Structure 1
């Protein structure tokens, strides 16, 4: 009782704000207010057959992806872009964890928690990791792991080269930029498993395609992908 009263008092003096709209949160709201959560642009691709999934189509003829999943639609200057900016550049790791938990709950309701053996985040190069201090994909993986009850391993994949930003590149340039920069650190950790590779945003899919290729070459039974958001093409 006293702890709850103290928390309410602290909240009045130093109110937590929604990381999507910056309005004050009320009791029970988890980093994102109820209004913003209701208005987030959900894809619901996990409810579609793969043949009707526009994310899955981006990988057709390139690498075999069992499930292609993305929680939200990325819209410029929208709530999702703001949330991802908070996550990547403002150090708000809770954004990735919360969205991972929420999405993991939805995937579990669809029975997908029974499909995956391991969650693997797309790695940053050690130089970029040292500069940023954390990998935003790790945060998403951690949240998904908690809801799906599937282990995650930040060290399963490693990035061997420090590449330039993908932001201004077309699909061919993005693929050339990442085609040979990923390696499986410990093949025994992935052999025979259905691995879910996770990242923050899917654009052309070049980065995830490169990760899927090396995981399958290392002996994964199946590979699926999931991202916080996907950009329209």
Structure 2
């Protein structure tokens, strides 16, 4: 269970290089098959272990509050789930993570700006090409006045290709003056 990404954000930032402009990017863990991280993510997403989200958010939040680059975040925003998936699962696996990071940074958390319009099948079984085909119209923005000229931290569980984060970031970048940083629980390499 490696967490080298905390000290070397370049690996995470490289995933998005040339795709979206980022202020900062980090991930708590490196995701490897058959690892404790894979087990944690599986428990969180499919076994109802929502407390893992809060725990990982506290962990990363404690680290980020000591990093100058993350001290000017105005809002923490989770990648949203479609309302049907949210109803089925009962929770957004990234919500607790984002809430705890926001607490640690002494900033605001909101899940009411970025909305997932259309349901999509799980990304787990999609290859890189299929993930890259996510469409800009899958997500919508509400209450964009909150984010004008702000710096947000967009949070997700696992960065595989970065397609979901990229799609959301491109939608958010329609807001004038917005700056984006990214944090995730894990990064596949």
TM range (shorter): over 0.9
Structure 2 length as normaliser, TM-score? 0.94
Unaligned 5+ runs, structure 2? none
1:32 maps to none
Take 2:11 and 2:70, find their aligned partners in 1: how far apart are those partners?
A: 22
Alignment equivalent of 1:183, drawn from 137, 140, 145:
140
List per-residue Cα deviations over 1:109-141 (Å, max 9, x = no partner): 222442211000000000100100000011110
Matched, 1:199 2:160: no
**Greater shift in the superposed pair: 165-174 or 84-93:** 165-174
1:151 maps to 108
1:131 maps to 88
Question: Is this contact kept in 2: 1:120–1:196, CA < 8 A?
Answer: yes
| Bigger radius of gyration among the two | 1
SS in 2 for 1:225: strand
Matched, 1:67 2:24: yes
List per-residue Cα deviations over 1:132-171 (Å, max 9, x = no partner): 0000011110121121212110111000111122222222
2:63 maps to 106
Alignment equivalent of 2:45, drawn from 68, 82, 88:
88
CA RMSD of aligned residues (A): 1.4
Deviation at 1:178, TM superposition (A): 4.1
**Greater shift in the superposed pair: 132-141 or 178-187:** 178-187
- More RCO (CA 8 Å, sep 6+): 2
**Greater shift in the superposed pair: 89-98 or 116-125:** 89-98
SS in 1 for 2:76: strand
Query: How many residues end up aligned between the 2 structures?
Result: 189
Unaligned 5+ runs, structure 1? 1-39
2:13 maps to 56
Whichever structure has more strand as a proportion of its residues is 2
Q: How do residues 27-42 of structure 1 correspond to structure 2 at under 5 angstroms?
A: 40-42=1-3
**Greater shift in the superposed pair: 88-97 or 198-207:** 88-97
Structure 1 length as normaliser, TM-score? 0.77
List per-residue Cα deviations over 1:71-121 (Å, max 9, x = no partner): 111111111111111111121111111111111111112224422110000
